């Protein structure tokens, strides 16, 4: 078994690495910068916990975060980890991919009782920056029974799955 020193230093940080990092965040901005340290004048968050090492050295980084205007902000007030290697942001509402240094909504998750237009407006209202939408915006396909079982196994408290 390897410890975090070996993983972060010897594997992720090596030249020509082909690693992918997956991180959570207290806040993320439209450029992919991550704040997991401090909301100035309000509170301290959990801290980096290695997120800076991963975000700075992984070839590609995916950030997972609950969709909220408090979490998706124009500019993070404190940069725990730089966003230059963050390529994808997955929220509880959809998938954003970085185009020309900023996130663009490329997929949205279906919601019971809401049509495409209503879902997009809900995402727009809950995003802390001016939402850019891909011309090829897709609705994410519902998971198969097998995929749903795996998701429930990995998210038993339904932090991302919700109802």
Residue 77, both tokens: 């007030």
Q: Tally the domains of the chain.
A: 1
Question: CA distances (Å), 87 to each of 22, 43, 161, in order?
Answer: 11, 28, 22
CATH no. for residue 39?
Answer: 3.40.1080.10
In a domain, 13, yes or no: no
Q: What is the mean pLDDT of residues 127-143?
A: 96
**95: closest CA among 124, 64, 55, 59?**
64
In a domain, 16, yes or no: no
Q: What is the mean pLDDT of residues 71-80?
A: 97
Q: What's the domain range around 87?
A: 21-154
In a domain, 100, yes or no: yes
User: What is the structure's pLDDT at 6?
Assistant: 66
In a domain, 97, yes or no: yes
Task: Using the predicted structure, report yes or no on whether residue 130 has a pLDDT greater than 90.
Answer: yes
User: What is the structure's pLDDT at 14?
Assistant: 62
Pairing of strands 72-73, 34-35: unpaired
> What are the residue ranges of helices labelled H in the chain?
4-5, 51-57, 116-125, 145-154
Question: In three state form, how does the secondary structure of 56-75 look?
Answer: HHCCEEEEEECCCCCCEECC
In a domain, 10, yes or no: no
In a domain, 119, yes or no: yes
Task: Using the predicted structure, report yes or no on whether residue 81 has a pLDDT greater than 80.
Answer: yes
Q: How confident is residue 26, by pLDDT bands cut at 50, 70 and 90?
A: very high
């Amino acid at each position: 078994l390897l410890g975090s020193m070996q993983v972060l230093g010897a594997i992720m940080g090596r030249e020509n690495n082909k690693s992918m990092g997956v991180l959570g965040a207290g806040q993320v901005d439209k450029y992919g910068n991550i704040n997991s340290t401090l909301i100035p004048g309000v509170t301290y968050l959990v801290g980096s916990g290695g997120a800076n090492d991963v975000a700075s050295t992984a070839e590609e980084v995916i950030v997972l975060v609950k969709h909220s205007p408090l979490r998706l902000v124009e500019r993070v007030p404190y940069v725990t980890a730089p966003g230059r290697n963050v390529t994808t942001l997955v929220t509880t509402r959809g998938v954003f991919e970085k185009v020309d240094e900023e996130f663009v909504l490329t997929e949205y998750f279906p919601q019971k009782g809401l049509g495409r237009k209503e879902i997009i407006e809900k995402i727009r209202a809950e995003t802390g920056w001016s939402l850019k939408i891909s011309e090829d915006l897709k609705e994410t396909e519902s998971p198969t029974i097998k995929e749903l079982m795996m998701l429930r196994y990995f998210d038993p408290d339904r932090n991302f799955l919700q109802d």
